A = this chain, B = another copy of it.
Amino acid sequence: MSSGRGRDAHPAPTLEMVAAAAGVSRATVSRVVNAAPNVSDAIAEAVNEAILKLNYVPNRAARSLVSRRTQVIALVVPETTAKLFSDPFFATVVQGVALYLSDTDFTLNMLIASEMRSDKTRRYLLGGNADGALVVSHHEGDHSYDRLDLSLPIVYGGRPLLESESESYFVDVDNVAGAAEATEHLIATGRRSIATIAGPQDMPPGFDRLRGWRRAMDSAGLPAALVEYGDFTPDSGAEAMRRLLDRGEPIDGLFAANDQMAAGAYSVILERGLRIPHDIAVAGFDNNYFGSTAVPALTTIDQPSLELGRTMAEVLVRRIEGKPVDRVTMMPTSLVVRASTAPRDA
């Protein structure tokens, strides 16, 4: 079994061949191809005809070599994310990026960055293989590529852990506002003793969502004391819920920092003979299948992951093209109301 029939079957027409066919110089063809302003219509037409006839496609390598632009955007993905292929959030962000770029002249290059070969990624980026890079830091706040930004523009997904220490460009979801909205919704349905299962405080989403819950509780004049922490896994959510209930204080509402932990909390609530939403109304964050397939379906905060990716790409392209862009872009979240926060007597 042989293979690779070689691109030599099709001896790829060159600019020179087009020039010959159209009876003009290579420079003129180049001008037409690049839509330069100063070409007479008659000549342009003749050239375009030749291009069509020969089925000419410019050679990117040659173009990049002289123009110093690759028309490539690198998407850096941490290997851990790649292995944890159970993450719909990540996949959606990537698709948003790809979708946006498909309407531009840029091409998307996916790089898997592992700790082991981290310099391979750096070298690739520094080697002039891309005009810019997108780093999907998976909301962990890792902006360790910051230094590279001196050599090529970088845009992160998710804010850095310490904003003050970074000058990086990033696009993020407004976690504080989202968490506040979920909590306000709980309050609006008549709940007063609202607990929260927070995420890790060394991750921006964990930290910000707790802040949002606090803000809403404070604004409503309710005590923000019922807090337990988890690590975003269902199991940790279950354990946090157990600790919460073991405090012996009344709880009629719960905001979990993500849907997975809410799902974990569900099992404990039911196991204790309590009903959702009758005894405890529950809201989550993320809007993924853990919430949508739960029974009762979980009220949650939707993150615009597709838009997040799209926006990251847009910000990067603007930077590359030298157009003005804000260093930080926040994407709005939206509340998805489902059965888990239904009013008690509806």
Question: A interface vs B, CB < 8 Å?
Answer: 1-5, 7, 9-10, 12, 55, 57-62, 64-65, 68, 70, 72, 77, 79, 82-83, 85-86, 88, 90-92, 94-95, 98-99, 101-102, 107-112, 114, 117, 123-124, 126-129, 132, 149-153, 289-290, 293-294, 305-306, 318-327
Contact = CB atoms under 8 A, between A and B. Distances in A.
A111 to B, nearest CB: 7
Contacts of A318: 3
Nearest to A117: B102
Contacts of A305: 85
Given A3-B325, A9-B150, A62-B65, 12 more contacts: A1-B324, A3-B153, A3-B318, A4-B320, A5-B150, A12-B126, A12-B128, A57-B124, A57-B127, A79-B99, A85-B306, A91-B94
B152 A7 contact: yes
A57 B123 CA distance: 7
Contacts of A123: 57
B1 A326 contact: yes
Contact of A127 (B5, B60, B72): B60
B10 A151 contact: yes
Contacts of A57: 123-124, 126-128
B85 A98 contact: no
Contacts of A1: 324-327
Contacts of A60: 61, 64, 70, 127-129
A346 B117 CA distance: 50
Dominant secondary structure of chain A at its interface with chain B: mixed
Contact of A82 (B64, B85, B99, B124): B99
Contact of A88 (B12, B88, B290, B322): B88
A128 B7 contact: yes
A263 to B, nearest CB: 8
Nearest to A64: B61
A70 to B, nearest CB: 7
A102 B114 CA distance: 9
A224 to B, nearest CB: 32
A102 to B, nearest CB: 4
A53 to B, nearest CB: 15
A323 B151 contact: no
